[in-house]
Structure 1
Amino acid sequence: MRIRHIAAAGAATAALTLGVALPASASDAQPSAGRSHAVAAHDASDLGALAAKRKVKVYQDAKYKNRNTTFTENMRNLKHDGWNDTISSAQNQGKCTVVFYQHSNYHGAKFSLAKGEKEPHFGDHPHMSDATSSIKFRC
């Protein structure tokens, strides 16, 4: 019984990571009359499409070096994620424009990167060298 719970917890973690809904139990694994596997697959692809639409990779140092992460949602305060005042370069890998703000809650100096644009050194923008505190996508 314990192994079944551990396996279920692992499957739930994987599903949450991938953004897929799990059945409530093994007996629910068959699709309901109103919902097919094709619909479930379509929902998962919509999540992937949304993530692809909003995607920016940020780097701690200029010229895309050292510690990095990817954001796919608006970030009101980067202090909570360990990226406050540390971003020095970025690559917009999504389809939306991404705006970098000097202060939290989308205030202060700002600059943006359109789809496919890169910025090798935030220091080339007034008040933005290691000063980004929030990020917002405009689609």
Structure 2
Amino acid sequence: MTATAKVLVTGKTHITAGANGAARSSDGFLDIKLPQPHPAAEQLFGAAWSACYLGAIQLAAAQRKVTLPAEPAVDAEIDLNQAGSSFFLRARLNVSLPGVDRDTAQALVDAAHGICPYSKAVHGNIEVTTTLL
């Protein structure tokens, strides 16, 4: 991080494990049960990433003066995989931008990966397939 970076928001959570596992945010907005084993980590990661990615699409559209549909959408699928003793993730992001011509929509989808901090964080670290529906 550079010295000129400005923190925009900090998410604070407390997680407990086990049969009565739970995740709670410091502001109380997030409060869910996480009994183990459960795919909650992958679901939460998918939700967080797709929310960020959708915001990046909106920013890319605004920069290009492209009007998005009223309800653009991103569906995320996050796989937890195991090969031998190693665990790793794979992701699929399915993007719906109805009413936007395909070439423009694809340009927005591509640009969003360069804007979204989650996409930047996983770039080169996990296999990501992005599909424009």
Tell me the TM-score range normalised by the shorter chain.
under 0.3
TM-score (norm 1): 0.26
Determine which structure has more spread, i.e. the larger CA radius of gyration: 1
